[in-house]
A and B are shown apart, each in its own frame.
Chain A
Amino acid sequence: MIQLKVNDAEQSFTGEPEMPLLWYLRDVLGLTGSKFGCGVGLCGACTVHVNGQATRSCVTTMSSVAGKEVTTIEGLESNGLHPVQKAWMQINVPQCGYCQVGQVMQAVALLNSKKKPADHEIDEAMSGNICRCGTYQRIRAAIKAAAGETI
């Protein structure tokens, strides 16, 4: 049995230890905010936080998250919207929106580690998250807005 915390709630998992965290979150817990995009860690749509680190849940096995704390978009902010989500709305980032949960989770992790990232640092941190609609220009702007910079 694998025990872990998901969005501050204790969970225990008795299934296949090799099951990726993404499918546990989506199919077992019904937390569908984290998305399936590529299954091999190349697109970032499945990004969650494991012990605060941005992590591709589609290539993270359940056995590797034993005893760890997982935060998904559903648990990102217990009270209203996270400042990054507010910035995303202010800049009107999403088009189809499918990748945006992963983008937001990645951006939150970036801003937790770097208060005011430079352009190249934003590009570097966000280059693992694909947006096929092409909202990148607004993602950059929203990260800066969330960092308290004037756009």
Chain B
Amino acid sequence: MSAIENVSRRRFLTGGIIAAGALVLGARYYHKLSSGDKLPHDTNADHATLHPSVYLGIDPDGTVWIVAGRSEMGTTSRTTLPLIVADELDADWKRVKIEQAIGDKRYGDQNTDGSHSIRSFYSAMREAGATARLMLIQAAAQQWGVPAAECETDLHVVVHRSTNRRAGYGELANAAAKLPVPPKTALKLKPKSAWRYVGKGQVSYDLEALVTGKAIYGMDARVDGMVYASIEHPPVLGGKVKSYDDKEPLKVAGVSQIIPIDPFQQAPAFQPLGGIAVIADNTWAAFQGRKKLNVTWDNGPNEGYNSDVYKNELRATSHNPCKVVRNIGDADAAFAKGGKVYEADYYVPLLAHASMEPMVALAEFKDGKATIWAPTQNPQGAQDTVAKELGIAKEDVICHVTLLGGGFGRKSKPDYVAEAAVLSKKVGRPVKVVWTREDDIKFDYYNAVASMYMKAALGANGKPTAWLQRSVFPPIPSIFDVNAVYGDPAHLQQGWTDIPYDLPNLRIENGPAKAHVRIGWLRSVANIYHAFGIQCFTDELAHAAGRDPVDYLLDLIGEPRSIDFKGVEYPNYGASMDEYPWETGRLRRVTQMVAEKSGWGKRKHGKGAGIGIAAHKSFLTYVATVVEVEVNDQGVVRIPRVDTVLDAGLVVNPEATRAQFEGAAVFGTSVVRTGEITATKGVIDQSNFQDYPVARINEVPAQTNVYIVDSDAPPAGVGEPGVPPFVAAFCNAIFAATGKRVRDLPITKLGLS
């Protein structure tokens, strides 16, 4: 696992001042880092003797190289995708070496977001493994003069049982390489009964490196001759520099240059924000120099943005008719008939990602080409952005992907990568841009603030006879088009247009909201606020109707059926509706299972204690969660237990999946307890963990139990789907425990903490 190959060719991490122990630790993540190399794109897999796929190569010593095309930010996809290849190849996992791909379209979509790494690459990984296995079998059959059909594989060996002959993959590699690569139609995929790894899982390939400090993140990237940069960004989005001091910062020991960066041209997209960069020979000196810049700004039109006023505007918009995005029956006519009508406003503020590793990137511009080392979720996007900023071809941007110290969607936006590239061109040396935590919190692409208006009329049995829901939020497309104000189908689908209830009269609307900060994808994205609105309103109605929340939820979900999206623009997360229909029966099942696992209705809860439930499908995965809380007289909330059941179809790596859902409960805890970004005169009010707290060990669920439904359905997402139902179930539990209804997040608004 820790083997280092061809180290002598690399100059990465070989700076003279570096302690010897650190020299080669990162080498296996990077192949051929010298910009003088002719073929910066190739991998060890490319050079392996048998190389039937861009993802795979086998050497005569039996080493299997597998290329991880997608980024590793903690979901273990860098391990799990190669595991699928290894399984279909029938390879010994101990003889597998994983290489991280650079950004290159030959690996397909590398933007590691949207919880679809396994879903989108499951077949490609299987085919890569099956192709090599078939070629090895054919090579052995040829050597032995037996029909290939009589040969099989057994953990890195091809076997002909009747003559008791065996040949290792390594010894067959040369012969196999001479054979034509078989077409897809010739491949025979292993039956489920023969799977070695899929469904059983494996710990991270990098596990030991992660606990020993040897893992290389973007923050740890180093090359000879590099300098460090820290950038003072415009405090208001779209602001420009009026003046700054270019003398005092240079008096700081270690500071060498002060360099302005142009403001972006509308819309911001992934362009640098602009500002003033301080270049120094160490990170701290760059930070110190920045404090002396004394910049004055022309803040521009977003100076008028105040988040409290904006909140009222969103709410006002949601109280009037908006754009209809889905309609069933006639909700207005049904409301007009009277009955008990309930209304509620729900609100979720802007949220910041706060990955533990702040934005950071290292770039070297030399001879008209750029080489990047960055913790990016989106290396091809980084290539595009850098190429555009530097005016060079995309092919002349080499983007190496380091490990990511968390991503959560922030690192699919390569603005910080572009900054490093732009500065390297100006400085003429490799430049490493390091954002402070304050930069990270203040210059994020925030999860959208959202206001949701909910209205329902209840019939005799407490079931809604009419249902109206309006959401208003500044949409993500606003970063690409300043005039974009309505939710786009890709985000309206996230728990809004796909409300899974069997309702006779339903109208779903979306209202306009102009963005004043950069809006972006954050783990679970629009599902967070949409699930909060729908699942908490459902709980309100259950209590209003005097019904048990689980029974009521099941009643609303109704009988098992596939939801018909006729007349609705429903992208289904890019998956086909045939392969991934919206099956309410699966949502029912996880709901019933979580009720049973959590002992719903069977356990007694004392004063100040209670449980809540929510069910939500996102990223094609069905999840139901029960949260138990205890609230003391001071309003301090404890979470003794969480139970969550998920149906993600085929789960390749159950251990990693459980970890994702444990983590989702913690991420959701931060959303509910303290998640809030606000702005005054266009400037973000928060700056670091003292005013944007995220959950600590003493604040999170004491125990999260994760149950995975055994399913043969095609694989779905696991990184994101845990957050939305947790958030809603947590808030419903707080109501059960205290009688306080959470409609505005975070719960500090209710005096809880």
A residues with CB within 8 A of B? 15-16, 19-20, 23, 26-40, 42-43, 45, 72-74, 81, 85, 88-89, 92-101, 104, 122-124, 126-140
Residue from the list A23, A42, A99, A129 in contact with B690, Cβ < 8 A? A42
Residues of chain B in range 676-703 having any CB-CB distance to chain A below 8 Å: 688-690, 694-698, 700-703
A102 to chain B, nearest CB (A): 9
Residue B206 at the chain A interface, CB threshold 8 Å: yes
Q: Which of B214, B253, B659, B689 is close to A15, meaning CB atoms less than 8 Å apart?
A: B253
Q: Which residues of B contact A32 (CB under 8 A)?
A: 22, 213, 216, 219-220, 222
By the criterion CB–CB under 8 Å, are B211 and A130 in contact?
no
- For residue B18, CB closer than 8 A to chain A, the reply is yes
Q: Which residue of B lies closest to A84 (CB)?
A: B211
Taking the closest CB of chain B, its distance from the CB of A21, in whole angstroms, is: 10
Most chain-B Cβ atoms within 10 A of its Cβ — which of A93, A97, A104, A136?
A: A97
Closest to B22 in A: A30
A135 touching B437, Cβ below 8 Å: no
Determine which of B214, B287, B690, B701 lies in contact with A33 in the assembled complex, contact meaning CB atoms within 8 Å.
Answer: B214
23 sample A-B contacts, Cβ–Cβ < 8 Å, listed by A number: A23-B284, A27-B282, A28-B17, A31-B22, A32-B213, A35-B356, A35-B405, A40-B437, A43-B356, A45-B356, A72-B213, A74-B21, A74-B213, A88-B211, A92-B207, A94-B207, A94-B210, A95-B76, A95-B660, A99-B405, A104-B211, A130-B356, A136-B700
Residue B534 interfacial (CB < 8 Å): no
Given A16-B253, A35-B219, the answer on whether A98 and B406 have CB atoms closer than 8 Å is yes
Asked whether B18 lies within 8 Å of A30 as measured between CB atoms, the reply is yes
Cβ-defined contact, A38 with B689, below 8 A: yes
Contacts of A88 in B (CB 8 A): 211
A124 → B minimal CB distance (Å): 7
Report whether A40 and B406 are in contact in the complex, using a CB–CB cutoff of 8 Å.
Answer: no
Contacts of A123 in B (CB 8 A): 697-698
Chain B: which residue is nearest A73 at the CB level?
A: B213
Known: A28-B282, A35-B356, A36-B283. A132 touches B694 (CB 8 A): yes
Q: Which residues of chain B are within 8 angstroms of A122 by Cβ–Cβ distance?
A: 697
Q: Which of A81, A92, A124, A127 lies in contact with B659, CB distance below 8 A?
A: A92
Query: How many A-B pairs fall under 8 Å by CB?
Result: 199
Q: Do A94 and B355 touch across chains, with their CB atoms under 8 A apart?
A: no
Known contacts A19-B284, A36-B283, A81-B212: A138-B662 contact under CB 8 Å: yes
Say yes or no: is B574 at the interface (Cβ < 8 Å to chain A): no
Which residue of chain A lies nearest to B287 when distances are taken between CB atoms in the complex?
A: A39
**Residue interface bits B341-385, CB-to-A below 8 A is 1, else 0:** 000000000000011111000000000000000000000000000
Determine whether the beta carbon of A29 is less than 8 Å from that of B403.
no
B39: interface (CB < 8 Å): no
Residue B406 contacts which of A15, A93, A96 (CB distance < 8 angstroms)? A96
Chain B residues with CB under 8 Å of A19's CB are 282, 284
User: With A and B bound together, what is the CA distance between A122 and B405 in angstroms?
Assistant: 24
Which residues of chain B from 534 to 580 have a CB within 8 Å of any chain A CB?
none
A127-B696, A134-B666 are known contacts. Are A42 and B689 too (CB-CB below 8 A)? yes
Interface of B is mostly: loop
Query: Bound complex: CA of A94 vs CA of B206, how far in Å?
Result: 10
Residues of B within 8 A of A42 (CB): 688-690
Which residues of chain B are near A100, meaning CB under 8 Å? 210-211
- Tell me if A98 and B356 are in contact (CB < 8 A): yes
Smallest beta-carbon distance A107→chain B, Å: 11
Known A35-B357, A45-B356, A96-B403; judge A136-B697 contact (CB<8 A): yes
**Number of interface residues, chain B, beta carbon within 8 A:** 75
Q: How far is the CB of A45 from chain B (nearest CB, A)?
A: 6
Instruction: Say whether B74 faces chain A, with CB atoms less than 8 Å apart.
Output: yes
Residues of A within 8 A of B354 (CB): 132
Interface centre among B72, B208, B212, B283 (most CB of A within 10 A): B212
Q: Which residues of B contact A131 (CB under 8 A)?
A: 356, 666, 697
Option from A92, A99, A128 in Cβ contact (under 8 Å) with B356: A99
Q: Tell yes or no: B517 within 8 A of A by CB.
A: no
In the bound complex, residues from chain A placing their C-beta under 8 Å from that of B207 are 89, 92, 94
Bound CA span A99–B405, Å: 8
B629 to chain A, nearest CB (A): 17
B204 within 8 A of A: yes
Chain B residues whose CB sits within 8 angstroms of the CB of A27 once the complex forms: 228, 282-284
Contact (Cβ within 8 A) A85 B19: no
Taken together as a complex, chains A and B put the C-alpha atoms of A89 and B284 apart, in Å, by 33
Which residue of chain B has the shortest Cβ distance to A129 in the bound complex? B697
| CB contact between A30 and one of B17, B206, B285 (< 8 Å): that residue | B17
Q: Which chain A positions have C-beta within 8 A of B204?
A: 92, 94
Task: Give CA–CA (A19, B701) in the complex, Å.
Answer: 38
In contact, A93 and B211 (Cβ under 8 angstroms): yes
| B217 sits at the interface (CB 8 A) | yes
- The 7 A-B residue pairs with the shortest CB-CB distance in the complex, in nearest-first order: A33-B213, A134-B666, A98-B405, A30-B18, A96-B74, A97-B210, A95-B74
Contact among B15, B219, B663 with A133 in the assembled complex (CB-CB below 8 Å): B663
Partner of A98, one of B357, B434, B701: B357
